[in-house]
Amino acid sequence: MAERRLTMDKVVGYPRVFKEVILGKLAILPSELLDNIISTCCDIQTTVTSFSLVNRGARNAVDESFAFQRVSYYAPDALAAMLRTQAGSFFTLEDLYDTLCRSSSCFSCGGFGPLIWLLECRRCCMPCLRSPELLPINEYAATKVFGVSAATLAGLPVVCSESGWDEYLDFRRLLSFTKVRAVAVEDAGDEAQLMARVNPTAQRREAYESYISWRVITDKKLHARWMVAAPQKISNDAAYMYPRQARERWDQCTTHFRSINHHVRKWKKKNESAVHELL
C-alpha cells in the first residue's frame, strides 16, 4: 500500500497540492524582525525543536534565519551538541553564532579554541577543558558541597549527560562549578558566611577544599572529586587506561616483529654463508 500511494502521486489527475501555510499573527512581521525574534529572543531548544515543528511556514522561517543558516552549515556538530545535551535551553542561536565568529581564541588561555564549553557557550582548547577550572559538578553534589537547594541552582545552565557515558548508568545534570560557587556566595550573603556554612560538615569541607585548591591527589580515597564531581577529569589514569594499554600492546608487537626480522636476517645471512662454503 505504501508503494501504491507513492506511485499515485505521480499519476496525472492526482497532483500533489501543498496548502499555503502561514504563521498566523507572526506573518505580518517583517522578515528582519522575525529573524531577530528567532535568533535572539528564543533559545535554541525552543526554536529548533518546538517552533520549527509548528508547520512548514515556521520551519521555513527558521531555515531562513541568518544565524541558523551559518551555524547549521559551518558548525552542525556544535548545534547538535547543544540540542542533545539540552544546553540549548539556556542559549540563543545568536549566542552560539557570536561564540563561533567573534573570536577563535580560548576564553581561558587565549590560544586557539577549537572546542565549545557548553556550560557557558564559550570557546576553549583541549588543555583548558582538561583543567580543574572547567571541571563540572553534578546538581546533587552541588547541593551537598555548598548546602544550597536545587531551586537556588534552577537558573544556571545545565548539561545533561548521556546515559551510561561513565560508570553511572543514569542521566546526570552537570553544572559549571564556578557559577555554582558564585550563586552559593550570593545565597549565603558573602564569602565568610559561605565558609561558615561549609565548615561544620567534615565531608563538605573536604570536598570544597579539594575543588578550591585544585590539587592532584593520587590516592583516590582522599580525592573528593571521586565523591561529588562529574565527570572525572579527562587526564586521570582511569580515562587513559585503555589507550595506554593499547599503546603498550602495540609497542610490544612492534618490538616482537622487529626482533623476528632481526633473527630472520641473521638466519638468512648464516644460510648464505653456508651455501658459499659448500660451493
Q: Which residue, 162, 161, 160, 142, is CA-closest to 152?
A: 142
Report d(CA 174, CA 162) in Å as an integer.
11
Give the separation between CA 147 and CA 187, rounded to whole angstroms.
10
pLDDT at 43: 92
Q: Is residue 91 within 8 Å of residue 157, measured between CB atoms?
A: yes
**Res. 231: pLDDT tops 50:** no
The one-character DSSP state at 16 is: -
Query: DSSP assignment, residue 18?
Result: P
**Alpha-helical regions (H) of 9-65:** 31-36, 44-49, 56-63
**pLDDT tens digit sequence for 95-123:** 999 998 888 888 888 888 888 888 888 88
Q: Is pLDDT larger for residue 241 or for residue 270?
A: 270
pLDDT of 234 > 50? The answer is no
Q: Which of 62, 57, 104 shows the shortest CA–CA distance to 83?
A: 62
d(CA 189, CA 171): 32
What are the pLDDT digits (tens) for 201-218?
666 666 666 555 443 443
Phi, psi of 137 (to 5 degrees): -135, 140
Q: 76: cis peptide before it, omega within 30°?
A: no
Give pLDDT tens digits for 120-177: 888 888 888 877 778 788 888 888 778 888 888 888 888 887 655 555 545 578 888 8
pLDDT value, residue 98: 92
Residues in a beta bridge with 173: 160
What backbone torsions phi and psi does residue 138 show, to the nearest 5 degrees?
Answer: -75, 160
Q: Determine the length of the chain.
A: 279
Question: For the segment 48-58, what is each residue's pLDDT rounded down to a tens digit?
Answer: 888 888 888 88
Q: What is the pLDDT of residue 4?
A: 44
Give the number of other Cβ atoms within 10 Å of residue 42's Cβ: 16
